Amino acid sequence: MDSYRYDHSMHDMRKRLWVVILLSCCCFSSVIEGAERLNVSASSAVVMDQQTGQVLWAKNPDWKRPMASLTKIMTAILILENCDLDDTVTISREAARTPGSSMNLRAGTTYQVRDLLYGLMLLSGNDAAAALAEHSGGRIDEFVAMMNKKALLLGATNTNFANPHGLPDEKHYSTAHDLALLTRSSLAIPEFAALVASDQAVIPDPMDAAHLSIYNKNRLLWEFEGANGVKTGYTLKAGRCLVASATRYGRQVVAVILDAPRLWEDAVTLLNYGLEEHKNIMIAQKGQELGTASVQGGLKGTVAVVSGNDVWITAPKAQSEAAKIDYVISGEIIAPVEKWAPLGKLRVMDGEKLLLEAPLLAGEQVVERSWAGRLRHFVHRLRRLLVEH
């Protein structure tokens, strides 16, 4: 913990926080113990809690590997952020000729963005990826630049995109951990979550009056209780890949599985591990008072410290010891202090590893101890009374 000077009231705050975590949390070493029991064929894999973002299990999580059609998760994110679902897309000759898995698009035909998104995520159409990239970015290389910029913004620092579909390229790679980060962000978009949870879709056929029924390649949607996404992928170099998501008991977990000979068995193992052996625990509510900190030069000698966010952690159900909650106050607090002013950070630690942090805010105003400060406080209260009446 960083070295800061704390007064007695802040030590009281530390004690109160420790009691909360001791009563409700556990030792995270049991995550490792549980993970050792898993028999997973994948070369690289991660299980992440969707709400907290905590990694619950990992195998070679930062190994840079080809990601095949899992690429299309990022393509879909950018299309949903930058395009209207009712936009009309005219299929170019280049897009129609894209090799690999296909919607069988024909040059010169038109589709709505939403129909191409179904073809992208359910059929894994490389031609749909190219057409959407051209529609959104103008040129595919410009869209790829958007993909890489977005990846960095989402914390996927070990990822580089070279195309919007995932066809082999030495400069096209990601990691299981990065793909979990991207998927967690994508599932927060309601349209994306609904799209990848669809087991089938019906889209217009522009060549005649008929409609086309397409079906999702993700068989977990039929075979695993609570499954609701996300994307399959395969190339010879990448092997069999999958990003899977499922929800049970009000919790959602994401499993990323790269190069897995037993792909579907791995998915079931990892999703069950994340859902059945863990629980989410609220440490603090947004606005909840956690203690007090001393204030220099104020009419009051202390200020209430509150949590700036709802703070949740994911913990194994088999509890043993307590995780550690720490806090850092950002230097000496000097009046005046405005209500909701940032004071520091609350941190949840697993040994030396930072699991999460949340802002600590001032829960009240503290006026400086001077005639000018008292006058400002009086005027502020008078104005508020006049407004209220």
Give 29's pLDDT tier (boundaries 50, 70, 90): very low
Which residue among the candidates 43, 44, 101, 124 is catalytic per the annotation?
124
Residue 121 and residue 182 in one domain: yes
Residue range 274-316, pLDDT digits in tens: 999 999 999 899 999 998 999 988 988 899 999 999 999 998 9
Residue 238 and residue 313 in one domain: no
Please tell me the predicted confidence (pLDDT) of residue 167: 97
Please tell me the predicted confidence (pLDDT) of residue 386: 77
Residue 92 and residue 197 in one domain: yes
Q: Is the pLDDT score of 148 beyond 70? A: yes
Say if 273 falls within a structural domain. no
CATH number of the domain where residue 363 is located? 2.60.410.10
* Residue type present at position 366: V
Give 377's pLDDT tier (boundaries 50, 70, 90): low
Let me know the angle formed at the C-alpha of 133 by 130 and 134, rounded to the nearest 5 degrees.
Answer: 85
Say if 13 falls within a structural domain. yes
Residue 232 and residue 306 in one domain: no
Q: How many domains does the chain have?
A: 2
Please tell me the predicted confidence (pLDDT) of residue 152: 98
Lowest mean pLDDT among 144-158, 256-270, 310-324: 310-324
Q: Is the pLDDT score of 13 beyond 80? A: no
Query: Which of 33 and 79 is assigned the larger pLDDT?
Result: 79
Q: How far is 139 from 287, CA to CA, in rounded Å?
A: 47
Give 319's pLDDT tier (boundaries 50, 70, 90): low
Say if 32 falls within a structural domain. no
CATH number of the domain where residue 69 is located? 3.40.710.10
Give 33's pLDDT tier (boundaries 50, 70, 90): very low
DSSP 8-state symbol, 165: S
Residue 56 and residue 168 in one domain: yes
pTM confidence score: 0.85
Say if 169 falls within a structural domain. yes
End position of a domain, from candidates 205, 226, 261: 261
Q: How far is 137 from 370, CA to CA, in rounded Å?
A: 59
* Residue type present at position 107: A
Which residue among the candidates 43, 44, 72, 231 is catalytic per the annotation?
72
* Arithmetic mean of pLDDT over the chain: 88
Which residue among the candidates 69, 174, 186, 245 is catalytic per the annotation?
69
Residue range 325-361, pLDDT digits in tens: 888 888 899 999 999 999 999 988 877 778 888 999 9
Please tell me the predicted confidence (pLDDT) of residue 349: 81
Q: Is the pLDDT score of 30 beyond 50? A: no
Q: Is the pLDDT score of 237 beyond 50? A: yes
Say if 271 falls within a structural domain. no
Query: Which of 208 and 13 is assigned the larger pLDDT?
Result: 208
Residue 96 and residue 211 in one domain: yes
Say if 267 falls within a structural domain. no
Residue 88 and residue 16 in one domain: no
Residue 227 and residue 315 in one domain: no
DSSP string for residues in 230-296: EEEEEETTTEEEEEEEEEETTEEEEEEEES-TTHHHHHHHHHHHHHHSEEEEEEE-TT-EEEEEE-B
Cβ–Cβ under 8 Å, residues 133 and 94: no
Across 173-178, average pLDDT? 98
Say if 129 falls within a structural domain. yes
Please tell me the predicted confidence (pLDDT) of residue 8: 35
What is the extent of the structural domain holding 307? Answer: 8-26+283-388
End position of a domain, from candidates 227, 261, 295: 261
Residue range 212-224, pLDDT digits in tens: 899 999 999 999 9
From the list 234, 280, 9, the residue with the least C-alpha distance to 101 is: 234
Please tell me the predicted confidence (pLDDT) of residue 76: 98
Residue range 38-73, pLDDT digits in tens: 999 999 999 999 999 999 999 999 999 999 999 999
Residue range 117-146, pLDDT digits in tens: 999 999 999 999 999 999 998 999 999 999
Residue 130 and residue 164 in one domain: yes
Say if 2 falls within a structural domain. no
Please tell me the predicted confidence (pLDDT) of residue 45: 98
Residue 67 and residue 16 in one domain: no
Q: How far is 256 from 240, CA to CA, in rounded Å?
A: 11
User: What CA–CA distances, in Å, run from 76 to 130, 232, 341, 386?
Assistant: 12, 14, 38, 52
End position of a domain, from candidates 261, 293, 324: 261
Q: Is 72 a catalytic residue?
A: yes
Residue 64 and residue 143 in one domain: yes
Q: Is 124 a catalytic residue?
A: yes
Give 322's pLDDT tier (boundaries 50, 70, 90): low
Query: Which of 36 and 380 is assigned the larger pLDDT?
Result: 380
Residue 304 and residue 218 in one domain: no
Please tell me the predicted confidence (pLDDT) of residue 34: 45
